[in-house]
Chain A
Amino acid sequence: QKEVEQDPGPLSVPEGAIVSLNCTYSNSAFQYFMWYRQYSRKGPELLMYTYSSGNKEDGRFTAQVDKSSKYISLFIRDSQPSDSATYLCAMTGGRDDMRFGAGTRLTVKP
């Protein structure tokens, strides 16, 4: 079993839709949970950074962490074509043990 599981998609939605991206994990030592966005032929860029369980909102993006279920989510409201990218979940216990999910490729159609 992989430490971090993420459905690679691809996921295609119409513009304006609410997008839900998810990851599950097995290592209970993970404390920090991140979402990275990667455009084609570019490096990943940090989108959301959360510590422990709870919700964090930033504009159209909301990250949720449920440590009891070992489940994290990223919601994108009012999705735009510019949101089309691969979204990678990532997590760490804070000791350079970063693990990434496989990434979900998202396409938002105008």
Chain B
Amino acid sequence: AQKVTQAQTEISVVEKEDVTLDCVYETRDTTYYLFWYKQPPSGELVFLIRRNSFDEQNEISGRYSWNFQKSTSSFNFTITASQVVDSAVYFCALSEDGYGNKLVFGAGTILRVKS
């Protein structure tokens, strides 16, 4: 069965620090999708990224970057020059099918960015 582990329960940083959120996954499938979602204090779930298992290229979007390594079954998320608005719970998720459906979520990492 698929499993997602986010070992960091909570991380606190000072504004402008870089921070990496770890995600390790388990699956027997060769085709799968990985996701990151952000849940700000308001409670909604905000989609950040979706990655296909065949695409191991790192991705950068502004201050966000993602490092996908199949060899270590990891899909880590780095925020560069963190800001207070980045304070949220971040979830990593893995699809249970080959199309990106039926997501299995990690327990989440609480990120607190202090000014």
B is bound to A: no
A interface, CB within 8 angstroms of B: none
B interface, CB within 8 angstroms of A: none
